[in-house]
Amino acid sequence: MPKQLVILTGPQGSGNHLFSKIFGYHPDVHGWDFGEKYWIPSDEEPFAECWVRPEKTSEMLTKKFMVANVSVPFVYDGVKQVPKIQEVIYEAQDAGYQVTVCVVVREENINVEQQKRVRMEMTLPIAVNYYQNLKPRWARGFPWKLEFVSHESLYLYKGMYLKWLSDKIGFPIAYDDIRVERDLNDNQNAKYVKHVDQHWLDQHVWNGLRPKHER
């Protein structure tokens, strides 16, 4: 297997921190070690400087399986900016790494509400536009790959989803690590979900549950 770099990214508040923590649990993967902390600022991530100065990327690529993390946009030393993901990809390819960019997807309305609540602004369009404009490039017989990973699937299926994802991208993930269950014990979407008394579609659904001759 070639040397591999997985870049976990997503709009701010999409859950790339969570995925990065879980990816780092595998003993063969060199990633972001959170220790006992639940959350760490993005500019303290090992690859943080690379998103500003891509020429630093080769210095970070020291192991066969590497994981890097960044949101779009991200905050580096107090300054909000768009990371240079495209340039980091090229640097990694030149260093002999197969690159997979995993964009974390969270339910759109929840992602927007999270951004407005925590950051007091909605930056989702910046991220969507950025990912749509990433350009493919072949190196050493293969291109870098773009995958979309699901925040909701992770919470619902946990280890089962992580095992599928590991097989899908061809990258080791410790899907049966006991820390995964701990990290996913509290669903971060729950605080945004509110009870709805009624909706115009309800009556149609109720009618559809009745025997055909009664509809």
Q: Which residues pair with 97 in a beta bridge?
A: 3
Question: Which amino acid type is present at position 53?
Answer: R
Second CATH level (architecture) for the domain 3-187? 3-Layer(aba) Sandwich (3.40)
Mean pLDDT of the region 104-129: 96
Provide the residue ranges of all domains of the chain, joining segments of one domain with +.
3-187
Are 121 and 75 a contacting pair, CB within 8 Å?
Answer: no
How far does CA 22 lie from the centroid of its chain? 11
Q: Which two tokens stand for residue 5?
A: 């770099």
Q: Rounded to an integer, what distance in angstroms lies between the CA atom of residue 35 and that of residue 30?
A: 14
| Nearest-angstrom CA–CA distance, 207 and 158 | 35
Each residue of 26-83: pLDDT tens digit?
999 998 888 878 888 989 999 999 999 999 999 999 999 999 999 999 999 999 999 9
Q: What tens digit of pLDDT does each residue of 120-174 get? A: 999 999 999 999 999 877 776 678 999 999 999 999 999 999 999 999 999 999 9
pTM value? 0.93
